[in-house]
């Protein structure tokens, strides 16, 4: 798939592609060679017509009555998501969340190579949390340039989030996942994805107390 073809995949489709890819890899590990849109829909609780529409962006290689070739579909989605190469990732903030992310082995399996962890606290600088020793945040910019860092996971306190994103942008990092519970801005060319765990918990409590047709716990 060419770069031009990748741009035609709508942004709203991308989160679903990650679901398809995860399930397809599970099927491949079990030795399954073909899967239909109906079978895939049942596995991930989506509409089969939506799946066929999403997969049509990769060309018409599904066969009616036979389904999709699992290995080819994995290759197409992997290429579209940019997972056919490794990405250098750093974590800024070595608190409980940051160190938990540093220990997570699933990143490497998906092509995300955690190359460094940074913090400003003397009590954690030099400690080891799965990917080498924590570095001083003063070295952030130089390290990002030297290691050609692609993505940063920001797990610093809210008050430090904006300045951290500013520093990362100046150092050439083009993608940031912001776990701090505050909105941050970034210059053109830098993508920021917010992950607010507290908000996700609030959605769950809303459902637990009777939202969206869910009755309260007796």
Whole-angstrom distance, CA of residue 48 vs CA of residue 64: 13
With respect to residue 208, please indicate whether it lies within any of the assigned structural domains: no
CATH code: domain of residue 140:
3.40.50.720
162 and 113 share a domain?
yes
Whole-angstrom distance, CA of residue 81 vs CA of residue 88: 15
Instruction: Return the pLDDT at 141.
Output: 97
64 and 151 share a domain?
no
3-state DSSP assignment of residue 160:
helix
Give me the domain span that covers residue 149: 87-200
DSSP per residue over 44-74, as a string? HT--HHHHHHHHHTT-S--BTTTBEEHHHHH
Instruction: Return the pLDDT at 207.
Output: 86
Confidence of residue 200 (pLDDT cuts 50, 70, 90): confident
65 and 97 share a domain?
no
- Tell me the mean pLDDT in the region 116-130: 93
Strands (E), the chain: 34-35, 68-69, 87-92, 112-119, 135-136, 151-154, 175-178, 191-194
146 and 55 share a domain?
no
99 and 138 share a domain?
yes
With respect to residue 211, please indicate whether it lies within any of the assigned structural domains: no
pLDDT of 2 strictly over 50 = no
pLDDT of 95 strictly over 50 = yes
Whole-angstrom distance, CA of residue 168 vs CA of residue 17: 28
Instruction: Return the pLDDT at 179.
Output: 96
Give residues with Cβ within 8 angstroms of 161, minimum separation 6: 154, 178, 180, 182, 184
With respect to residue 205, please indicate whether it lies within any of the assigned structural domains: no
pLDDT of 163 strictly over 90 = yes
- Tell me the mean pLDDT in the region 178-195: 95
Whole-angstrom distance, CA of residue 159 vs CA of residue 132: 27
pLDDT of 84 strictly over 70 = yes
- With tokens 């130089």, the residue in question is 142
With respect to residue 215, please indicate whether it lies within any of the assigned structural domains: no
Using a pLDDT cut of 70, give the percent of the chain over it.
89
Whole-angstrom distance, CA of residue 180 vs CA of residue 52: 37
When mean pLDDT is compared over 23-27, 130-134, 209-213, the highest value belongs to 23-27
- CB contact at 8 A, 124 and 132: no
The 10s digit of each residue's pLDDT in 9-61 is 888 899 999 999 999 999 999 999 999 999 999 999 899 999 999 988 876 65
pLDDT of 182 strictly over 70 = yes
- CB contact at 8 A, 181 and 160: no
- CB contact at 8 A, 23 and 32: no
With respect to residue 164, please indicate whether it lies within any of the assigned structural domains: yes
Instruction: Return the pLDDT at 3.
Output: 43
- Tell me the mean pLDDT in the region 75-86: 90
**Domain final residue pick, 61, 80, 99:** 80
In the chain, how many domains are there?
Answer: 2
3-state DSSP assignment of residue 112:
strand
Evaluate if pTM is beyond 0.75: yes
Which has more confidence, 106 or 88? 88
């Amino acid at each position: 798939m060419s770069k031009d073809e990748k741009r035609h995949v709508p942004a709203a489709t991308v989160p679903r592609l990650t679901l398809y890819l995860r399930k397809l890899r599970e099927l491949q590990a079990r030795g399954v060679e073909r899967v239909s849109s109906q079978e895939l829909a049942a596995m991930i609780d989506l509409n089969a017509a939506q799946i066929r529409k999403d997969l049509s962006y990769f060309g018409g290689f599904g066969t009616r009555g036979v389904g999709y070739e699992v290995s080819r579909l994995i290759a197409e989605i992997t290429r579209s998501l940019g997972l056919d190469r490794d990405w250098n990732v750093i974590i800024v903030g070595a608190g409980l969340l940051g160190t938990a992310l540093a220990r997570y082995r699933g990143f490497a399996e998906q092509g995300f190579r955690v190359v460094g962890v940074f913090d400003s606290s003397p009590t954690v600088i030099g400690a080891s949390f799965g990917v080498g020793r924590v570095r001083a945040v003063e070295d952030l910019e130089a390290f990002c340039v030297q290691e050609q860092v692609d993505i940063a996971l920001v797990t610093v306190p809210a008050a430090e989030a904006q300045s951290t994103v500013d520093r990362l942008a100046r150092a050439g990092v083009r993608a940031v996942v912001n776990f701090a519970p505050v909105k941050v801005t970034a210059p053109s060319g830098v993508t920021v994805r917010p992950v607010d765990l507290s908000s996700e918990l609030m959605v769950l409590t809303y459902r637990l107390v009777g939202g969206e047709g869910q009755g309260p716990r007796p």
